[in-house]
A and B are shown apart, each in its own frame.
Chain A
Amino acid sequence: MAAAAYPSRGLVLRNGDDASLSDLPVLKPEDFTAWVLDGRARGGRLAQLFGRRAHDGGVTVYAFVAYDADGVVEVSATHLGAAHGFGRLEYPSISEQWPAAQAFERELAEQYGVTPLGHPWLKPLRYHATDTGAPAPWGPFDANKVIPGDYPFYRVEGDEVHEVAVGPVHAGVIEPGHFRFQCHGEDVLHLEIMLGYQHRGAEKLLVHPNRTRGAIVAETIAGDTSIGHATAYCMALEALAGVAVSARAHAIRGIALELERLANHVGDLGALCNDVAFLPGASYLGRLRGDFLNLTLEICGNRFGRNLVRPGGTAFDISPSLSDTLRKRLEALQPEVLDVLDMMFSQSSVLARFEGTGALSEQQADEIGLVGPAARACGCTRDVRQDFPFGMFQFSHIPVANETTGDVYARAVVRWLEVQRSIEFLLEHMGTKPAGGTFAPMRTFRPNALAIAMCETWRGEAMHVAFTNAAGDLDFVKVKDPSIHNWFGLALAMRGTPISDFPLCNKSFNLSYAGHDL
Chain B
Amino acid sequence: MLDIIRTRMKQGHRTMAFPDQVPSLPERFRGRPAVDASKCIDGCRACADACPTEAIDVTDNLSLDLGKCVFCTACVEACPEGAIAYTQDYRMAVNTRGQLVLDGPGLELAQRMGDELFRVLGRALRLREVCAGSCNGCDLDTNVLNTVGWDLSRFGIQFVASPRHADGLLVTGPVTKNMEHALMETYAAVPKPKIVIALGACAISGGPYRGSHAVNDGADRLLPIDLYIPGCPPHPLTILDGLLRLVGRIK
The CA of A45 and the CA of B232, in the complex, are separated in Å by: 36
Please, which residue of chain B has its CB at the minimum distance from the CB of A514? B135
Among A287, A299, A316, point to the contact of B147 (Cβ < 8 A): A287
- Across the two chains, which residue of chain A brings its CB closest to B213? A201
Q: Which residues of A contact B29 (CB under 8 A)?
A: 297, 301
With A205-B208, A220-B208 already in contact, the answer to whether A198 and B232 are too (CB < 8 A) is no
CB within 8 Å for A208 and B52 given contacts A168-B182, A176-B182: yes
Interface pair B52/A216, CB less than 8 Å apart: yes
Which residues on A are within 8 Å of B, measured CB to CB? Answer: 126-128, 143, 146-147, 168-169, 171-176, 196-202, 204-205, 208, 210, 212-213, 216-217, 220-224, 226, 280, 283-284, 286-287, 289-290, 294, 297-304, 306-307, 315-316, 336, 339-340, 342-343, 346-347, 512-514, 517
A357 to B132: give the CA distance in the assembly, Å.
Answer: 31
Q: Given that A176-B131, A204-B212, A343-B7 are known contacts, is A216 also in contact with B136, CB under 8 Å in the complex?
A: no
**Given A197-B182, A198-B176, A199-B176, A224 and B212 contact (CB-CB distance below 8 Å):** no
User: Given A216-B70, A304-B233, are A175 and B4 also a contact pair (CB < 8 Å)?
Assistant: no
> Could you tell me the distance between the alpha carbons of A25 and B51 in the complex, rounded to whole angstroms?
40
Q: Judging by beta carbons under 8 Å apart, are A304 and B28 in contact?
A: no
In the complex, given contacts A200-B214, A304-B137, what are 19 additional A-B residue pairs having Cβ atoms less than 8 angstroms apart?
A127-B178, A168-B179, A172-B143, A176-B130, A176-B132, A197-B133, A197-B179, A198-B179, A220-B137, A223-B233, A284-B11, A297-B28, A301-B26, A306-B70, A306-B71, A307-B72, A336-B10, A343-B4, A347-B4
In the bound complex, what is the Cα–Cα distance between A67 and B108 (angstroms)? 58
A to B CB contacts below 8 Å, 25 in the list: A128-B214, A173-B159, A174-B139, A175-B131, A176-B131, A198-B134, A200-B133, A200-B173, A200-B176, A202-B212, A216-B70, A216-B72, A220-B135, A220-B137, A220-B232, A222-B136, A223-B138, A294-B26, A300-B28, A303-B233, A304-B137, A307-B72, A316-B28, A343-B3, A517-B176
- Check if B136 sits within 8 Å of A512, measured CB to CB: yes
**B119 within 8 A of partner (CB):** no
A216 to B201, CA, bound (A): 12
Once the chains are docked, how many angstroms separate the CA of A514 from the CA of B10? 38
Chain A nearest CB: distance from B27 CB in Å? Answer: 8
Q: Mark B105-136, 1 if CB is under 8 A from A, else 0.
A: 00000000000000000000000111111111
A173, A201, A205: the one contacting B143 at CB < 8 Å is A173
In-complex Cβ contact of B4 among A280, A289, A336 (8 A) = A280
| Neighbouring B residues of A294 by C-beta, 8 Å | 26
- Give the contacts of B155-205 with A (CB-CB under 8 A): 159, 161-163, 173-174, 176-179, 181-182, 186
Is B99 in the interface zone, CB < 8 Å from A? no
Q: Does B228 contact A (CB under 8 A)?
A: no
Q: How far is the CA of A128 from the CA of B214 in the complex (A)?
A: 8
- A220 contacts across to B, CB distance below 8 A: 135, 137, 207-209, 232
Report how far A202 CA is from B207 CA in the complex, Å. 12
B232 touches A196 (CB 8 A): no
CA separation between A297 and B29, bound complex, in Å? Answer: 7
Contact residues in B for A340 (Cβ distance below 8 Å): 7, 11
Are the C-beta atoms of A222 and B30 separated by less than 8 Å? no
Give which listed residue, A213, A307, A339, A514, contacts B73 with CB less than 8 A: A307
Residues of chain A with a CB closer than 8 A to B209's CB: 200-202, 205, 217, 220
**Residues of B close to A168: CB separation below 8 A:** 179, 182
In the bound complex, how far is the Cα of B150 from the Cα of A283, in angstroms?
Answer: 11
A77 to B126, CA, bound (A): 53
Contact between chains at B132 and A224 (CB < 8 Å) = no
CB neighbours (8 Å) of B74 from chain A are 212
Residues of A within 8 A of B136 (CB): 174-175, 222-224, 512-514
